[in-house]
Amino acid sequence: MFDKPAYNRVMKAMLSIRFSEQKTICKITTLFGLMSAVLWVACANGKNGTYSAEPVKSTTGDSMAQSDKPVAATSRDETPLSPTPDMALEAASASGELRFDFTEHIALAHLRSSGLLMDFGHESRNKYTIGDWKTGWRGNYLKDGVTYSLLESAAARVFFFLDENEAGDGRLVIRARGIGQKSKGRLYLNGSGLGPVEFGPEFSHVTVEIKGLLKPGNNELLLRPGNGAKASDGKFARLAVDYIRVIPAGTDESQAASAATAVLDGDEGGASKAIRLRGGDRLTWYVAVPEAAFLRASVRSTGQGRESDVAVGLYKNGTLRSELFTGKVDHRGTDMDASLSVCADDICALDIQVNSGEVLFERLQMREPMTEVSSASGKRSAQNVVLVLIDTLRADKLSAYNRDSRVQTPFLDTLAKESMIFENAWAQENWTKPSITSLLSGLYSATHQNKSENNKVPSSVVMMQEHFSKLGFETAGFVANGYVSDKFGFKRGWDTWTNYVREGKRNRAEFVADDAVNWLRKRRDEKPFFLYIHTIDPHVPYIPPAKYRALYDNEPYNGVVTATETAKLLEKVKTGALKLTDRDKFRLEALYDGEISYHDDYLVKVYDELKAQGLLDNTVLIVTADHGEEFFEHGSVGHGHSLYEELLHVPLIIRLPGAAQGASGGARF
């Protein structure tokens, strides 16, 4: 039986996953929706049809004063969902699979409206400040109709990209106000001083002339504001910034947009949501283009009897690769359908520009022809859920994701053959605490706010185990990472709970697996259960038993890499205090690989116990990771420092209840 409310909740959380009772088509890009997906599989039918998932509560967790409110997200939650999965499949088949909706991702676009507009107080500014963490910037706020972000440190940077024709002379316009008083400070562009500036206690414009300092490519603006005070969110800040505009010489400023969201229009002519651009406006997105992708949109002028001049192009490395549409449109509009094949499997810039008039772009989307995918064996409902989180396991170490991997994981290889393998699963963060919070809550880090060293999960954020407990499940957590602990708000909703680090217990895989198996043998048979097993063996220190290390490095070694000291060693390498030879690097990665193989030999015990009790027929088993690990792919080691693939691409293997054991190959999505 199909449970429509449960389906809709999954759709909202996972964005791009569609389920069908007869056929499953899945394309997962992030793990933040795993919570809703698990609840759907486990609860849509549930035990005797009595369990049903409840909506996920969402909160920012911020402690703002009532006069300041976080900016409401313009998300796909506002978009009506297809009433049934079969209808969603039919719609996708008719026009191709949706790969990227440009209208829904206006925050990722670079808006040029009388110069480049960097709008603060909105998620669109994150691409210019590289987020909040250790950048000097804080939050997105709305007060008295103005959106702004706070500059809290003595210095903060803004990064922006300019074309060749935008380089040279120009002007910088900053709309901001000092916190509590006037703020006197200095500005620097690409290392050169622009002189002193002063911001009053109310929002006003400060304009600075630029002589020859704007350069093609990447630019860096450094702001050094003066003294600050307590802002209305109760924390110290120096400056509130509404927007920053970079205006090249000779630019017409007569119709400048004041906000990145100002180009969105939801009411014009029946458009559900559209992008409205005026003469001189330009939007640019940088996107990864799949093979065989095409662009589809409806384009029309807003005024009857008026024509507008429009140009849509695809650029690579600043060079025009394809003119997708060039010409005039009137109020009757035209449908645009253009191939993006010149940028297949590459990253390119989609650039739309209105040279005259006013234009609405409706349903501006990148799509790809529907492709046949594998079918996954097993039932789409479960009585029990087992979630195995392998800390610090990057996807390409498993042969299910990388056929050339040398790492021996016979159990995970076997499990993958009878499971769904999600090839494009990406962690929300590059370190444990915020990543696990997103995984267990279904919320982005910007929402749950548990993303720094001392934060904890806000009490208003409801996690997966709390949902299961409310639904009558017996819950148990066996966690080998000290961050996922009571100290940081994770010990809620568990009937049985163990954090090996906080309790001073041995936290190797063999001990965690033994405890999980013992719990399975003693649990209450009459209740469904949720079992969370969080192991940590691939994390530093890399100390595999000798026989597992020997699988990957059995040669004599007397270098600086000592297994028990690998945590300190990685920090020295990151800071440049220590440089490793090629032999050292080989040894280091061999220790990591050995930990993965060691872990595999003990994880199988949990599977064997589920099989022995006959639970594999009514239990969904999930294996994933919170993040990966770098081994010099981009000049560093460990995790927590970058957003490259080796840190964010993680395995996601889901075995459905009753899946064929020992199958010849897993279904890939």
- Say how far apart CA 337 and CA 294 lie, in whole Å: 7
Whether the CB-CB separation of 111 and 117 falls below 8 Å is answered with yes
**How far is 338 from 340, CA to CA, in rounded Å?**
7
In 421-489, alpha helices (H)? 432-441, 445-448, 464-470
C-alpha 620/C-alpha 533 separation (Å) is 14
Residue 419, both tokens = 């499971």
Closest to 9 (Cα-Cα) out of 41, 50, 46? 41
Say which amino acid occupies 258: S
Local confidence band at 93 (pLDDT 50, 70, 90 cut-offs):
very low
Q: Is the pLDDT of residue 24 over 80?
A: no
Amino acid letter at 69? K
**Surface-to-core class of residue 662, CB atoms within 10 Å of its CB (0-12 exposed, 13-18 middle, 19+ buried):** exposed
For the ranges 248-257, 259-268, 320-329, 656-665, the one whose mean pLDDT is highest: 320-329
List Cα–Cα distances, 204 to 79, 148, 175, 241, 366, in angstroms: 36, 13, 5, 10, 39
What pTM was estimated for this model as a whole? 0.64
Compute how many other C-beta atoms are within 10 angstroms of the C-beta atom of residue 257.
21
Residue 304: band (very low, low, confident or very high) from pLDDT cuts 50, 70, 90: confident
Q: Which two tokens stand for residue 248?
A: 């090249």
Q: Using CA atoms, how far apart are residues 145 and 617, in angstroms rounded to an integer? A: 55
Q: Is 546 helix (H, G, I), strand (E, B) or coil?
A: helix
pLDDT for residue 79: 30
Phi, psi of 486 (to 5 degrees): -60, -35
474-485 burial string, b = 16+ CB within 10 Å, else e?
bbbbbbbbbbbb
* pLDDT of 41: 63
More confident of the two residues 372 and 165:
165
Which of 60-74, 141-155, 650-664 is the most confident on average?
141-155
- CA-only gyration radius of the chain, Å: 27
Q: Find the mean pLDDT for residues 205-212.
A: 94
What are the residues facing 420 on neighbouring strands? 654, 667
Q: What is the pLDDT of residue 494?
A: 97
For 643, other C-beta atoms within 10 Å of its C-beta total 12
Q: Is 62 within 8 Å of 332 (Cβ atoms)? A: no
- Neighbour count for residue 37 (Cβ, 10 Å): 23
Q: Is the pLDDT of residue 656 over 70?
A: yes
Q: What does the DSSP assignment read for 88-155?
A: HHHHHHHH-EEEEETTTTGGGSEEESSSEEEE-SSGGGHHHHT-STTTSEEEEEEETTEEEEEE-SS-
DSSP letters spanning 569-606: HHHHHHHTS----HHHHHHHHHHHHHHHHHHHHHHHHH
C-alpha distance from residue 43 to each of 28, 111, 474, 667 (Å): 20, 44, 14, 23
Task: Kindly give the pairing relationship between strand 239-248 and strand 116-119.
Answer: antiparallel
pLDDT in tens, 509-564: 999 999 999 999 999 888 999 999 999 999 999 999 999 999 999 999 999 999 99
Q: What is the DSSP letter of 395?
A: G
User: Which residues fall within 8 angstroms of residue 262, CB to CB, at 6 or more apart?
Assistant: none
Quote the tokens at residue 437. Answer: 């919070």
> Could you report the per-residue pLDDT of 211-243, keeping only the tens digit for each?
999 999 999 999 999 889 999 889 999 999 999
What gap in Å lies between CA 584 and CA 561, rounded to an integer? 6
Structure tokens of 337?
């359908």
Average of per-residue pLDDT across 332-347? 92
DSSP letters spanning 259-321: SGGGGEESSGGG-SSEEEEETT-EEEEEEEE-TT-EEEEEEEESSTT--EEEEEEEEETTEEE
H-helix or E-strand spanning residue 38: helix 34-43
Mean pLDDT to the nearest integer, 407-429: 94
What pLDDT does residue 373 have? 59
Least confident of 373-387, 534-548, 639-653: 373-387
Q: Rounded to whole angstroms, how far apart are CA atoms 140 and 76?
A: 19
Q: Return the biggest CA–CA distance within the chain.
A: 82
Which of the residue ranges 20-34, 99-113, 521-535 would you say has the lowest mean pLDDT?
A: 20-34
Pairing of strands 652-655, 420-421: antiparallel
Q: Across all residues in the chain, what is the average pLDDT?
A: 84
Lookup: tokens for 19: 């389920």
Per-residue pLDDT of 33-83, as tens digits, reads 676 667 666 665 443 333 333 333 333 323 222 234 434 333 222 233 333
Q: How is the chain split among helix, strand and coil, in percent rounded to 5?
A: 25, 30, 45
